[in-house]
Structure 1
């Protein structure tokens, strides 16, 4: 039988980013850490890793089986630390959100402005890659925990081809993702990005893999 969940304060519930840190609740609670721990016990919040929590979406309140999506929580964590304009899902993370990786994976990748070690969460591993976001081709995406930036199909294809081992997907899964992304890309934009980002070799590799594995 599902436990009744205690609702979070309105000030937190109104946040665009449903990932919170104790300091984000400092203006609401005198002692935010114990209060967040209480909300975890009551089912209104999930602890993601040390110092980060996710507010359970309303439709899942009271459900002990709900698990936050790794890619969504990763974007939310990065937004907490670098702001909405300082984080973007990329690589396998963007590919998963774009539907190019059909199976759930336990690793995701986020572009951020600073070097940062990987972060282990209760729901998977987050890899942070230092990128200048202004140079990336991005688009907006809605996830279950936040709204934010992800790389476009063109940028995602180039990034996957440039660093196919980042995120630990097996080679056949990378090829599958490239094949899924290819029909959604604009040829002129691909060429332009490959030129300006010095990823001509990555574009050549992607073409080769798609053609070799194609029907």
Structure 2
């Protein structure tokens, strides 16, 4: 029995097709390999964290604004009542008592409105308010120690106590100048050498 020989062009096409199939198989294997899946999932994880941090930060700002407005309304209400009481005491000739009420009005009016601090946050904000773990806007968690150091390549110091402003000196990137929020939960500011480059961190402990 004689074997039928295939034309040369058919043989060449068959060889090329088989090589193309092998290449496609290798590419498919690469797409589903664990080595490529892990970095992709980690990237997605970091994106979700940054999105959650942004939502958390926006919620804090919104809640703080609402708290400030409510506290201001309460202050106006009590000031109005105390003022009427002061006027009444003055009309009655009880000047000492009227002066005492007046002083109380001044205290209420000048008091700084601060939201209640979260559990574990010390009330001594200028010196200890930033001690703890913070998640920065780049997704990195940094623990600030009480001696002006961190658990990473950075040191921090208070540069303006009246504004609760701190300077973070990083080893490999430009320094950050940030301000601690009144509730002690957010650090926000810019690069010390670039006021257009915004940075922030949220307390996570």
Identify, as 1 or 2, the structure richer in helix: 2
Q: TM-score, normalised on structure 1?
A: 0.20
Given the two structures, how large is their TM-score scaled by the length of structure 2?
0.20
Bigger relative contact order, structure 1 or 2 (CA pairs below 8 A, ≥6 apart)? 1
- Which structure has the larger Rg? 2
